[in-house]
Amino acid sequence: MNLETRLTEAFRISPAQEKGLKKLGVVTIKDLLYHFPARYDSTADTSIISNLRKGESAVIFGTISGLKTKKAFRKKIPMAEGFVEDNSGKIKIIWFHQAYLAKMISENSFVRVEGKVSERKGQLYFSNPKVEPAATLFTSSKEHNLYPIYPESRGITSNWIYHSVKKVLSRVPLDIDPIPQEILRIYNLPNLKTSLIWIHTPKKLEHAQAARKRFAFEEIFFIQLERQKARHEFKERVAFVINRDIGELNKFIERFPFKVTGAQMKCIEHILEDFRRGHPMSRLLEGDVGSGKTAVAAAATYAVVANKFQVTYMAPTEILARQHFEFFIKYFSHLPIQIGLITGSGCLKFPSKVNPDGWTHISRSQLLKWVLNGEIAVVIGTHALIQKSVKFKHLALAIVDEQHRFGTAQRQKLVNKEERTPHLLSMTATPIPRTLALTIYGDLDLSLLDEMPVGRKKIITEIVTSEKRLEAYEKIREELRAGRQLYVICPRINEPDPNKPARHGFAVGESGGELAIQAKSVKEEAKRLKKEIFPEYGIGILHSKMKPMEKEKVMQQFKNHEIDILTSTSVVEVGVNVENASLIIIEGAERFGLAQLHQLRGRVLRGTHQPYCFVFAETKSEKTIDRLNALKTAKSGFELAEFDLLQRGAGELRGAKQWGISDLGMEAVKNIKMVEAARAEATKIIENDPTLSKFPILKERVEFVSSKIHFE
Same domain, yes or no, for 262 and 398?
yes
Lowest mean pLDDT among 84-88, 443-447, 703-707: 703-707
Percent of the chain with pLDDT over 90: 39
Q: Are 260 and 295 in contact (CB under 8 A)?
A: yes
**pLDDT: which is higher, 419 or 611:** 611
pLDDT of the residue at 498: 47
Q: What is the DSSP string of 526-575?
A: HHHIIIII-TTS-EEEE-TTS-HHHHHHHHHHHHTTS-SEEEE-GGGGTT
pLDDT of the residue at 504: 33
Residue 126 main-chain phi, psi, to 5 deg: -90, 130
Same domain, yes or no, for 381 and 494?
no
Q: Are 132 and 111 in contact (CB under 8 A)?
A: yes
Using the predicted structure, report yes or no on whether residue 646 has a pLDDT greater than 60.
yes
Same domain, yes or no, for 514 and 420?
no
**CA nearest neighbour of 404 among 93, 692, 641:** 641
Same domain, yes or no, for 260 and 357?
yes
Last residue of a domain, one of 580, 607, 635: 635
Same domain, yes or no, for 493 and 411?
no
Cis peptide before 78 (omega within 30 of 0): no
pTM higher than 0.75, yes or no? no
| pLDDT band of 106, cuts 50, 70, 90 | confident
Is residue 66 one of the residues assigned to a domain?
yes
> Mean per-residue pLDDT for 671-691?
92
Q: Of 208-222, 280-294, 667-681, where does the model show the most confidence?
A: 208-222
**pLDDT: which is higher, 248 or 168:** 168
Is residue 659 one of the residues assigned to a domain?
no
pLDDT of the residue at 656: 55
Is residue 653 one of the residues assigned to a domain?
no
Q: Give the pairing type, strands 445-449 and 282-287.
A: parallel
> Mean per-residue pLDDT for 297-324?
92
Is residue 504 one of the residues assigned to a domain?
yes
Is residue 407 one of the residues assigned to a domain?
yes
> Mean per-residue pLDDT for 191-198?
94
Q: Of 207-216, 350-359, 410-419, where does the model show the most confidence?
A: 207-216
Using the predicted structure, report yes or no on whether residue 264 has a pLDDT greater than 90.
yes
CATH of the domain at 138: 2.40.50.140
Whole-number Cα distances in Å, 392 to 203, 374, 385, 388, 424: 63, 7, 11, 11, 15
396-446: pLDDT as tens digits? 999 998 755 555 556 566 666 566 889 999 998 777 777 888 887 888 888
DSSP 3-state percent helix, strand, coil across the chain (nearest 5): 40, 20, 40
Same domain, yes or no, for 414 and 464?
no
505-530: pLDDT as tens digits? 333 333 333 344 457 889 999 999 99
Last residue of a domain, one of 95, 121, 149: 149
Using the predicted structure, report yes or no on whether residue 693 has a pLDDT greater than 50.
yes
Q: Of 59-63, 485-489, 568-572, where does the model show the most confidence?
A: 485-489
Same domain, yes or no, for 389 and 269?
yes
Same domain, yes or no, for 482 and 613?
yes
CATH of the domain at 576: 3.40.50.300
pLDDT of the residue at 502: 39
Same domain, yes or no, for 268 and 412?
yes
Give the span between the Cα atoms of 332 and 337, in whole angstroms.
Answer: 7
Lowest mean pLDDT among 102-106, 276-280, 549-553, 676-680: 102-106
Same domain, yes or no, for 478 and 615?
yes
Is residue 361 one of the residues assigned to a domain?
yes
| pLDDT band of 589, cuts 50, 70, 90 | confident
CA-CA-CA-CA torsion for 586, 589, 595, 596, nearest 10 degrees?
-50
Using the predicted structure, report yes or no on whether residue 41 has a pLDDT greater than 80.
no
Same domain, yes or no, for 253 and 397?
yes
**pLDDT: which is higher, 532 or 450:** 532
Percent of the chain with pLDDT over 70: 87
Q: How many CB atoms lie within 10 A of CB 173?
A: 9
Last residue of a domain, one of 91, 124, 149: 149
Is residue 10 one of the residues assigned to a domain?
no
Is residue 684 one of the residues assigned to a domain?
no
Using the predicted structure, report yes or no on whether residue 115 has a pLDDT greater than 90.
no
Q: Of 137-141, 474-478, 595-599, 692-696, where does the model show the most confidence?
A: 474-478
What average pLDDT does the structure give for the chain? 84
- Count of the separate structural domains present in the chain: 3
Using the predicted structure, report yes or no on whether residue 16 has a pLDDT greater than 90.
no
Range of the domain at 129: 39-149
Using the predicted structure, report yes or no on whether residue 132 has a pLDDT greater than 90.
no
| pLDDT band of 134, cuts 50, 70, 90 | low
Same domain, yes or no, for 56 and 129?
yes
Using the predicted structure, report yes or no on whether residue 459 has a pLDDT greater than 80.
yes
